[in-house]
Each structure stands twice: as structure tokens, then as C-alpha cells.
Amino acid sequence: MVSASAPRPGTHHRTATIAGLEIFYREAGPADAPVLLLLHGFPSSSHMYRNLIPALEDTYRVIAPDLPGFGLSAAPPLGSYEYSFAAFADVVDGLLAALGVDRYALYVMDYGAPTGFRLALKHPDRITALIVQNGNAYEEGMQDFWAPTRALWADNSEVNRAAMLPFFTQESTRFQYVAGVRDETRIDPAAWLHDQLFLDRPGNHAIQFAIIYDYRTNVALYPAIHAYFRASQPPTLILWGRNDPIFSVEGAEAFLRDLPQAELHLLDTGHFALEDKADEMVPLIRDFLGRQPVTGAATSADTKEGA
């Protein structure tokens, strides 16, 4: 069950039972402040936001869940739970309902993008703003890196699965963090070691293959997502590691076709941009959210009262 106590300064680590699953989430900030929902990517968890949350908690109620099968959330065996992005969106929707949240700004990265964009399709009126950080929604963003995955989508065979097994190794996880980064000493090794701990759990590879195979449904959903962008025109901040080998910079630039007023910042880094560029990103995020009529509503007096 969700604790009824209001968050206090500092990150709280909580669990809630949603649709029979124990979902872990981090929460910080005044209980009555504008809400910012942070959705993580593969192979990480809410742990990827461990440095961002303290930088925003003075003004925002920040909520960052672990998706099922990731981090400290439940990871039921394959066959006992539908590992799909539609199911992930339903779980996050249920968590927000349990927390009494019906309006929020949405920060999405990697797997968080198709999860969050499904929430936007379901409840477009609830999204006050979008922050997109290396979270794809356009075919242009999926280039050579995706060839083995596309082969798996075309033929979900043991041969194609075996070809992707190296993707789950510690070497590959480290690659996701350091590829495209100018100064690797800025990347904390604990980040990829933390992710690898959960990737290596018994049965987790089967879970991850199910999620990877379901990712094809996100590509099929792109036209609907683009239509949402065009119709709703949510205020959008795009922060993108321009050297990302997974989601190319063309994927970032494509957002501007449907969201011409979006603010695009290309950062000299890779996929997990927050790991080495938080000092550049946090001021951009605070400035962007502060200019929005809902997310910028909290005053210093409100913050002190909520704290």
C-alpha cells in the first residue's frame, strides 16, 4: 500500500502494490508541488535519476518508478506477467492514481519514452510538459545499432536471440554508458554495475527478450504519437546526447517536424546523458519547467510550506 505521509526533503524510497505487483519508486519534494514523472530506460531503473531528483526536489514533487522487471520492482517469471510497453504504461498509470496524481510533466528516456507516450495517448489532458532525453519516437533515430533487433522482430528465433545475448553482458552495459562520452572519468562505474546486477538475475534474460520483441509495437505506434504531438503541442524540451550510438541525433531533430516550438539542445555526450552532463541539463530543465504555467506554479513560499 502507498504511505499516506507527505514527502519531506530528501529522496524517499517507497513501494506500492499496483495490479498485484510490488512497484518500487523514488519520491521527493513537497506533496502539493507540481509533479514531474521520471521514466527510466534500459537497462537501468529509477537509479539513473539519483542525481537529478535532489536537484529538483525544492520546487517539484518528483516521482520515479522502476518498471516491472527492472530495478527493485517485481519481476514475475515470464508467462505470469505480460511484459509489454502497454502493460508498463498501465502500471505507471495505476501508480499515479494511487498517489493522487492527475497532472504532471513527463521526463522520458529510452524505454521510458514508449511507456510515457502511451500515457500521453491515454490521457493527453494530464501532460503539462514533456522532457525528452534520448527517448525515440521516430524511425530516423533507429539506425545501424538496431539491425539485430529488427532481425529478431522479423523472426523471433533462437538463432536471432543468441545473436543478441552479448547485449546483456557487463561489457555491453558499460558501452551504453561510455560510448560517445568525451571524458569517461565523469561516468561513475557504479551506474553500470548497478544495472548489471539486475540484468544478471535468473530468468531476467527471458524477460528482456520479451520486452525487446514487444518494442516493435512502439514503432507501429509512431504515427499515433506524432498525431498526439501535432494535436496537443505539449511544451517540449529535448535534451539529447548527440553521440548516442543507440538513438541517433536524427531522432532528436525529427521531433521538430511535429513540435516546431520544441526546444532542442544537443549535448556532447552519449546515451545516458545525465551521468556526465547533469551540470548542463539541470539549469535547462529548471528554466524550461519554470516557464510553464503549471509546472512553474510553485513559489518559494509554497516550497517552504510543503517542506
Contacts of 8 (CB under 8 A, 6+ apart): 307
Q: Reply yes or no on whether 40 is catalytic.
A: no
Closest C-alpha among 294, 285, 286 to residue 132? 285
Q: Which of 40, 194, 226, 271 is catalytic?
A: 271
Cα 277 to the center of its chain, rounded Å? 17
Closest C-alpha among 19, 69, 56 to residue 212? 69
Residue 297 grid coordinates: 506554479
* DSSP-derived secondary structure for 80-115: SS--SHHHHHHHHHHHHHHTT---EEEEE-TTHHHH
DSSP state of 169: S
Distances (CA, A) of 49 to 11, 37, 40, 283: 11, 11, 8, 15
Helix 216-232 × helix 112-122 angle, to 10°: 50
* Secondary structure class of 217 (helix, strand, coil): helix
Q: Is 241 exposed, middle or buried (0-12, 13-18, 19+ CB in 10 A)?
A: buried
How far apart are the C-alpha atoms of 53 and 63, rounded to whole Å?
9
* DSSP-derived secondary structure for 124-165: GGGEEEEEEES---SGGG--GGGHHHHHHHH---HHHHHHHG
Catalytic site residues? 271
